[in-house]
C-alpha cells in the first residue's frame, strides 16, 4: 500500500446500487484508500487532508460530491451526477485510551470504539467478536457500512435499543476544504482535548446539531469517522414460530405488551427482537413470529449453520424474494405461499452472537423494498389497510413484515415515534409493486395515520409531504446544516433528492 492516501478515478461513468433499482450517470466514480506509514493517527489525518484537497478541486470544477458506503440504499439518497467516492477502503478501527476520553464521560470507557467511515457492519462484527464485544444492534443486512446505515437511519428490530445511529456518540466531519469538526452532544461529552488535538480538529458540543447530523444522507459533509458505544459480547437466543393470527397476537402488535401473549417461547419475558411476518394469501396458516432474547455469552455455543439457499435466522425478506417471479395475477397467491413455506423456515432455541445471527451480505434477484415508520397503536388498522389494498390494487408479489424498534433521538430518523413499528413491504421489482405502494400511502393518508418513510428505501417523499411527517424537526435540521456548512459546501453536498425533498436550501 502507498504511504500516502490515494483518491483514484475509475473508468465507471454509471453508478448502480446493490439492489439494481437505478442507474445513475456520473462524471466520475473514485476509490479512496488510506496511506500506510506505520503511524495510524498520521495516516488517518493524512486522509482528512486528502479529502479536503479533493473537495477544493470539486468546488473549482463546479462538481457535486457524494461519498458512497455499501451501496445498499434502494433510492438515490447517496447518488449525484457529479463525483461519487467509494469509501470501502477506509476501514481503520481504533480503540480509545483513557487520555482520549473526557473526564465527564459517564459511559463505559472500555466500550468506546472509533470507526473509520468505510467499515462494514460485517467487519465490525468480526472485530468486536474477536475482542469479546458486540454492537448494540444492527440491521438484518450486514453489507452496509456503519456510516451509510447511520446516515439513512437504518433501524434493526431491537425493541428497547433503537437504530444503528442511536449508539453513535461522536462524529468527525469534513465540512469544507478548510474546516473539519468533531461533533458530539453537550449532554453527553465523550472525547478529551488531547483527542481533539490528535485529530487537529475543532470540537463542537451541541445536542441539536449532533442529532441533526446523524441522519443526514451525506449532506452535512464527509463523515470521516464516528465514535460508537459497544456492549460486552452477548448471545441471542432465537426462535421463529408459526402461530395463529388472532386477537392475542394483534394485541401485542398494537402495544408491545407481552404479559398476556401466551405464545412466546420464554413466557412473559420481554424479547430483545420482535418481528411479525404475514402472508396475506394464507392467513389461516397463521403468522411467522421471530423472537430473540439477549443471553450471557458462552464460548461453547454452536453458531447457526448458514444456508444461502434459504433465508437465514436474521435475514430480512429481500434475501429470498428475488426467487419470486413477477407472475400473472391468477397464480401470485400460489407462488408467494410456496416460496414462503420453502424459504422462511421456523427454528427453535438457536444461539449465536449478533454477528452470527445477522449475516446477510447477499442480494438475490431484483427486489423492491419500502419501510414505513408507524406508531405501534395503529398496527392492526394498517394491516387491515394492506389486506384491503391487496384486493383492490394487488396482487402484491411479496409479504407483509412488521419490525419493532425504540424511537430515535436523531432529528430526521424515520423511527421517530416513541415505539415505532417499521412496516416492511418487500416485493418483486415491477410496475405492479409501484401501484400497490401508491395505493397503500393513499389509504393511510385518508385514514389519518401518521407515518414516515425510510430514506434509503422506496418512498414517495417530496417537499409537500415531508413537512407533515417531520416538522418541527425538519426546520431544525435545515438550520443545523446551514450552521455547520459554509455556502459553497451547501451546494457541494447537495443532490437531486435533497432538492426534491425541500431540504437543500437556506434556513
Contacts of 250 (CB under 8 A, 6+ apart): 380
Q: Walk along the chain (507 residues) and give the pLDDT tens digit of each residue.
A: 579 999 999 988 988 877 777 788 899 999 999 999 999 999 999 999 999 999 999 999 999 999 988 777 778 888 889 999 999 999 999 989 999 999 999 999 999 999 999 999 999 999 999 999 999 998 877 878 999 999 998 887 899 998 999 999 999 999 999 999 999 999 999 999 999 999 999 999 999 999 999 999 999 999 999 999 999 999 999 999 999 999 999 999 999 999 999 999 999 999 999 999 999 999 999 999 999 999 999 999 998 876 555 555 655 555 445 444 444 444 567 667 776 776 778 999 999 999 999 876 555 456 788 999 999 999 999 999 999 999 999 888 888 999 999 999 999 999 999 999 999 998 877 888 899 999 999 999 999 999 999 998 989 999 999 999 999 999 999 999 999 999 999 999 999 999 999 999 865
Check residue 167 and report its DSSP letter. Answer: G
Identify the pLDDT of residue 322: 47
E strands within 41-102? 65-68, 83-86, 93-95
Identify the pLDDT of residue 325: 47
Q: Yes or no: say if 390 and 280 are a contact pair by the CB < 8 Å rule.
A: yes
pTM over 0.85: yes
CB atoms within 10 A of CB 1: 12
Q: Yes or no: say if 378 and 423 are a contact pair by the CB < 8 Å rule.
A: no
Q: Yes or no: say if 253 and 197 are a contact pair by the CB < 8 Å rule.
A: no
Identify the pLDDT of residue 306: 67
Identify the pLDDT of residue 70: 77
Q: For residues 49 and 401, give the distance between their C-alpha atoms in angstroms, rounded to a whole number.
A: 45
What are the respective helix, strand and coil percentages of the chain, to the nearest 5?
30, 25, 45
Residue among 374, 359, 357 at smallest CA distance from 424 = 374
Task: Sheet containing 28-33: give its strands across.
Answer: 6-9, 28-33, 83-86, 65-68
C-alpha cell at 78: 447517496
Q: For residues 108 and 96, give the distance between their C-alpha atoms in angstroms, rounded to a whole number.
A: 11
Amino acid at each position: 500500500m502507498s504511504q500516502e492516501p490515494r483518491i483514484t478515478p475509475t473508468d465507471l461513468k454509471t453508478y448502480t446500487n446493490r439492489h439494481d433499482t437505478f442507474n445513475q450517470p456520473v462524471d466520475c466514480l473514485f476509490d479512496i484508500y488510506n496511506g500506510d506509514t506505520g503511524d495510524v493517527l498520521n495516516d488517518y489525518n493524512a486522509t482528512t487532508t486528502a479529502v479536503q484537497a479533493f473537495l477544493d478541486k470539486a468546488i473549482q470544477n463546479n462538481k457535486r460530491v457524494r461519498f458512497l458506503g455499501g451501496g445498499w440504499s434502494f433510492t438515490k439518497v447517496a447518488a449525484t451526477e457529479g463525483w461519487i467516492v467509494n469509501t470501502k477502503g477506509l476501514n481503520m478501527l481504533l480503540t480509545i485510551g483513557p487520555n482520549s476520553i473526557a473526564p465527564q464521560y459517564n459511559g463505559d470507557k472500555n466500550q468506546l470504539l472509533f470507526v473509520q467511515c468505510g467499515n462494514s457492519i460485517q467487519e465490525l462484527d468480526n472485530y468486536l467478536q474477536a475482542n469479546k464485544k458486540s454492537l448494540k444492534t444492527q440491521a438484518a443486512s450486514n453489507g452496509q457500512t456503519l456510516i451509510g446505515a447511520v446516515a439513512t437511519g437504518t433501524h434493526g428490530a431491537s425493541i428497547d435499543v433503537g437504530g444503528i445511529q442511536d449508539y453513535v456518540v461522536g462524529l468527525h466531519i469534513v465540512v469544507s476544504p478548510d474546516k473539519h469538526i468533531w461533533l458530539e452532544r453537550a449532554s453527553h461529552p465523550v472525547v478529551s482535548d488531547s483527542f481533539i488535538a490528535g485529530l487537529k480538529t475543532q470540537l463542537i458540543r451541541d445536542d441539536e446539531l449532533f442529532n441533526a447530523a446523524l441522519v443526514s444522507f451525506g449532506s452535512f459533509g464527509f463523515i470521516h469517522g464516528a465514535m460508537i458505544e459497544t456492549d460486552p459480547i452477548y448471545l441471542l437466543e432465537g426462535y421463529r414460530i408459526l402461530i395463529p393470527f388472532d386477537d392475542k397476537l394483534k394485541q401485542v402488535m398494537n402495544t408491545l405488551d407481552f404479559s398476556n401473549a401466551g405464545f412466546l417461547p420464554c413466557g412473559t419475558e420481554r424479547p430483545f427482537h420482535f418481528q411479525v411476518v404475514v402472508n396475506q394469501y394464507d392467513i389461516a396458516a397463521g403468522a411467522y413470529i421471530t423472537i430473540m432474547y439477549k443471553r450471557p455469552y458462552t464460548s461453547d455455543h454452536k453458531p447457526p449453520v448458514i444456508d444461502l439457499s434459504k433465508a437465514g435466522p436474521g435475514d430480512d425478506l429481500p434475501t429470498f424474494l428475488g426467487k419470486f417471479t413477477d407472475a400473472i395475477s391468477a397464480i401470485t397467491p400460489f407462488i408467494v405461499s410456496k416460496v414462503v413455506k420453502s424459504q422462511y423456515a421456523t427454528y427453535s432455541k438457536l444461539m449465536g452472537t449478533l454477528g452470527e445471527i445477522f449475516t446477510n451480505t447477499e442480494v438475490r434477484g431484483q427486489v423492491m423494498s419500502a419501510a414505513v415508520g408507524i406508531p405501534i397503536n395503529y398496527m392492526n388498522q394498517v394491516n387491515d389497510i394492506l389486506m384491503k389494498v391487496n384486493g383492490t390494487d394487488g396482487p402484491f408479489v411479496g409479504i407483509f413484515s412488521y419490525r419493532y424498534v425504540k424511537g430515535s433521538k436523531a432529528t430526521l430518523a424515520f423511527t421517530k415515534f416513541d415505539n415505532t413499528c417499521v412496516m416492511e413491504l418487500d416485493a418483486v421489482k415491477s410496475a405492479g409493486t409501484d401501484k400497490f405502494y401508491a395505493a397503500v400511502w393513499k389509504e393511510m393518508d385518508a385514514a389519518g395515520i401518521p407515518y414516515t418513510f425510510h430514506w434509503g428505501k422506496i418512498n414517495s417523499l417530496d417537499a409537500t409531504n415531508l413537512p407533515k411527517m417531520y416538522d418541527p424537526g425538519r426546520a431544525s435540521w435545515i438550520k443545523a446544516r446551514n450552521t455547520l456548512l459554509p455556502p459553497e459546501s451547501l451546494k457541494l453536498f447537495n443532490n437531486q433528492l435533497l432538492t426534491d425533498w425541500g431540504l437543500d436550501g437556506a434556513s
